[in-house]
Structure 1
């Protein structure tokens, strides 16, 4: 809780929260940079496959995050401490070195990318949850610098454009796996199973959807869908940050900081679209069709997640892993159903409209679950008081 902290302390925590939150841009930059570099190194067909691979890599990263970080933060009976595993760092380094040696090879990129993204997801999650803010700032700078140099090299059609990108990721991985004073808690087996199950149910929707777009609408639309999801992912940074903080404890301060960041990111993306920055970054796939409307809808879809994050985290803190998994299954079916209707209309704006509607429905479902469980707990406590000591 932050309400009882002195004013200067709250200000310092708010400042560090904002700085760490901004560092999340580096995580969102990697998929965008990968798509941008690929647009200049690979054929259109290869770009379509890589676009789907980016979504798959994000899904793998979410699963790794669920197993290593979220399962421990959701285990209410433990100290809920997390660390960045050395074994994951080692695998990421091997994958990065292999990618650098292979050069511009689409197959190797598709194989190595999930490992690199998993390392980034887990590393950032640990830093945010444990408030390792200084370390996270340095890691974010390294990732961002590598992505920037890689994209600039790709503009010059350099075959080695992936090397700076990968180097930045590996440097950040080393920083994030430096030793810490605490040890990781052991996740409760039941909680681990529920967390992984609901992450798999939810996360599988988007790579599957993009694979269907690639099959039915073609590689250009698959690239644009990934680019739009990646660009709008800038809004997901404060939302993911908020979820991590709320899994630890409820904080009105972090909610306000995150909501302000979502609004600022929304405005920034509209400005970048207006000045043609995304045409420049993503090349012909972006400029081949009108992207303003789908971008607005994609951003609205992301922003609507703010309404789902708060009750979702509250249920997690209560230890209601089974209930959350059930609700997530319902939400995933709703999401895929509405997105599939949009896909049947052969329109990316319709797909993002379906995702937005599903997100709003999800917010209602999670809030209903939170209130129902809270009422159940209060009624149970009242009955115990009335019955008295046995």
Structure 2
């Protein structure tokens, strides 16, 4: 536990955690940079399709993360060690090369995005879980520089603007797949099945929702939805970081660091919105509509995940995979229903209100489940201790009586 460490070591670990956490910005900027560059290179209809592809890529990344990282971290009977698979790294680098030679083809971009994002999710997840902070800092810097150069080239109207972006991803992938001393734990098959199932149930909602927005509200609203979701995704960086650390062990220090980062991210996004920076980055899809209210609601939705993450990770550490899958299925159905109700109103703000309410209700559900399971385990432990202290308790009354005579 981090609270058992000396004060100087706790401070050093907090600073390292903060630096690694900030490195997560590199993962969040990829969807944002892709949307920004696409707004300068492709038609409005193509941008709408790419917006859905970004959500599909995020979903693919979540599934890959569940298979490679989370299933092992949730396998309580193992050492819970993870590594970056070389096959995924090689596939990602090859995909980046193909996309670099077809940088103006929206179809190739839509096909490549799920593979590239999956490698980014898994690579960062492994680095954070195993505390490979040095390599993660360098990888994050490379991804950030590639995204920045790509967005700048997009502003300049250059047709090759996607090339620096994918080059940064390829180099970062190579850094993250450097050899490590440990081997990956073999996940428990049943645990992997449950983890992947509940990830799929939860993750499929958002690409489906964005596809419905594209169908019923048009490409402009679909691009705006993914833009706001991507920008508010800055808050998901400390939340994902916290989730990874809590899957290993409970840490009050990481909770405090992550909560502070969430608050700072909300302030930063509001400042960027009021100063017009976000409108400049995302172009006409952002400036054509009022975005302050949807952005604030989206930030509230993301920030509410902090209350969900803590009990969720506690249940994961205990190996409660079946319970979590059932809870996630119920929560996902509720989330989709509330978001779809907002879509029926034909308002993106209403969609984000639905997502926010669903997240708050989810936190209540997970916390109730955590307390219920904790109290049940405590009762079982008390009962076991009582039987050990009184071994004759519960024995046949007649046998006990005969022995006393």
- TM-score for the superposition, normalised by structure 2: 0.96
How far apart are the structure 2 equivalents of 1:305 and 1:66?
18
State the partner residue of 2:372.
372
Could you tell which deviates more after superposition, 66-75 or 93-102? 93-102
Deviation of 1:376 after TM superposition, in Å, equals 1.1
2:319 matches 1:319: yes
State the partner residue of 2:97.
97
State the partner residue of 2:252.
252
Secondary structure class of the residue paired with 1:304: helix
2:302 matches 1:298: no
State the partner residue of 1:153.
153
State the partner residue of 1:361.
361
How far apart are the structure 2 equivalents of 1:52 and 1:103?
18
How far apart are the structure 1 equivalents of 2:46 and 2:380?
58
State the partner residue of 2:108.
108
Secondary structure class of the residue paired with 2:319: coil
Deviation of 1:386 after TM superposition, in Å, equals 2.2
How far apart are the structure 2 equivalents of 1:225 and 1:186?
39
Q: How does 1:107-256 map to 2 (within 5 A)?
A: 107-256=107-256
How far apart are the structure 2 equivalents of 1:253 and 1:387?
38
State the partner residue of 2:15.
15
How far apart are the structure 2 equivalents of 1:337 and 1:372?
27
Q: How does 1:17-96 map to 2 (within 5 A)?
A: 17-96=17-96
Q: How does 1:336-347 map to 2 (within 5 A)?
A: 336-347=336-347
Structure 2 runs not aligned, ≥5 long: 393-405
State the partner residue of 2:396.
none
How far apart are the structure 2 equivalents of 1:346 and 1:95?
37
Question: CA deviation digits over 1:26-65, x for unaligned, max 9?
Answer: 0000000000000000000000000000000000000000
Deviation of 1:387 after TM superposition, in Å, equals 2.4
How far apart are the structure 2 equivalents of 1:87 and 1:53?
23
- TM-score for the superposition, normalised by structure 1: 0.99
How far apart are the structure 2 equivalents of 1:10 and 1:384?
37
Secondary structure class of the residue paired with 1:3: helix
2:285 matches 1:288: no
Deviation of 1:382 after TM superposition, in Å, equals 1.6
Could you tell which deviates more after superposition, 188-197 or 378-387? 378-387
Deviation of 1:369 after TM superposition, in Å, equals 0.7
Deviation of 1:103 after TM superposition, in Å, equals 2.0
* Cα root mean square deviation, aligned: 0.7
Question: CA deviation digits over 1:194-213, x for unaligned, max 9?
Answer: 00000000000000000000
Secondary structure class of the residue paired with 1:210: helix
Deviation of 1:102 after TM superposition, in Å, equals 1.1
Question: CA deviation digits over 1:220-261, x for unaligned, max 9?
Answer: 000000000000000000000000000000000000000000
Name which one, 1 or 2, has greater alpha-carbon Rg: 2
